[in-house]
Amino acid sequence: MPILLRGSGLGSVSPARLLKAVAELFDACTTFTPPLATVTVPLSTVTTAWLSQEKGKRTVFLISPGGL
């Protein structure tokens, strides 16, 4: 389902409706299932993960809140 953004600035929608829409967007993102298989690895292991990619799976690198 494509995401469509509309409007010409913050005045095109009320703050209450904008907050509701953003909350709904975040809710949808938390329940989204990617259409392909993924494997998650820490960014600090990029060399190892890059060299051992599993066929048919997309590698997703995770960045920790404290940096690498």
Instruction: Please report, for the chain, the start and end positions of each structural domain, with discontinuous segments joined by +.
Output: 34-68
Residues 17-50: tens digit of each pLDDT = 989 999 998 888 888 777 788 888 999 998 888 8
Please check the confidence at residue 7 and state whether its pLDDT lies above 80. Answer: no
pTM: 0.43
Instruction: Please state, in angstroms and as integers, the Cα–Cα distance from residue 59 to each residue in 5, 35, 44, 56, following that order.
Output: 28, 14, 13, 10
Please check the confidence at residue 54 and state whether its pLDDT lies above 90. Answer: no
**Buried/exposed 25-35: b ≥16 CB within 10 Å, e otherwise:** eeeeeeeeeee
Q: What angle do CA 51, 57, 61 make, to 5 degrees?
A: 65
Which pLDDT belongs to residue 67? 52
Helix (H) or strand (E) holding 61: strand 57-62
